[in-house]
Amino acid sequence: MERADLPICPLFEGVAPEALPKELHRLQAAERLYDAGETLLAAGCPTERMGLVLEGELHAILPLPQGRQLLQSRLLRGELFGQLLALDNGRESPVTVMAHTRCRVLWIPMKNLLTGGGEPSSARLLGNLCRQLSSTYFSLQRRLICLTQPTLRDRLLYYLRTERYTQGSNTVRLPFGRTGLADYLGADRSALCRVLSGLRQEGLVDYDRQHPAVVVLLAEPEE
């Protein structure tokens, strides 16, 4: 696999194009195709590999009591998954990772990445993995803080403020639409829409019904 075939991914940042095929061979990275609805990793199962999404969209779903489910994350082209689990060999996965669309995934055995190959490119991969793990930790921390907000209104405002900072604009583009945002916030879509409508009436946000995946933050709520 050549670099041109790989999506932009922090794991390969700084790795010379000519060194990448050799590294992928050393890592014994394997590509696999999945149809929509296929399970890549089941909750309760361990894994020794992490995955890189080459094409398509995956969903990481957290099973809850009474048969309920929570969409923990959507995984798109260029994103990694399973890296934390693969580092702790034998630990059971808390989520099920499923193909939401037809997907192409590159699987990388974690032990091969940790072993290193003695080359600068191998050291770069390890450093990139450490930085990516740090990013994952803070992303999960933000999600936890969001979900511990007392009301859906508070969770939504926290999310929008965080995304405003991340995207660098008061115009926040919802990366997975309103349905996905409702899943992310642990709510149903109708409840989310009611809260958004209420915030609009308060003059805190605005949005165009023709573009529901874009929300503009106008003001901060009064304490």
Q: How many residues does the chain have?
A: 223
Distance separating alpha carbons of residues 188 and 168, to the nearest angstrom: 28
Determine the 3-state secondary structure of 59 from DSSP. Answer: strand
Distance separating alpha carbons of residues 199 and 188, to the nearest angstrom: 17
pTM of the model: 0.78
pLDDT of 122 above 80 = yes
Q: Quote the strand ranges of the chain, DSSP E.
A: 30-34, 39-41, 49-55, 58-63, 69-75, 80-81, 96-99, 103-109, 171-173, 205-208, 211-217
Residues facing 31 on adjacent strands: 106
- Among residues 76, 122, 116, the alpha carbon closest in space to that of 99 is found at 76
Burial of 74 (0-12, 13-18, 19+ CB in 10 A): middle
The pLDDT tens digits of the residues spanning 162-190 come to 989 888 999 988 877 788 888 888 888 89
Show the domains of the chain with their CATH numbers.
3-146 (2.60.120.10), 149-217 (1.10.10.10)
The pLDDT tens digits of the residues spanning 57-72 come to 999 998 888 777 878 8
The pLDDT tens digits of the residues spanning 91-121 come to 899 999 999 999 999 999 999 988 877 788 8
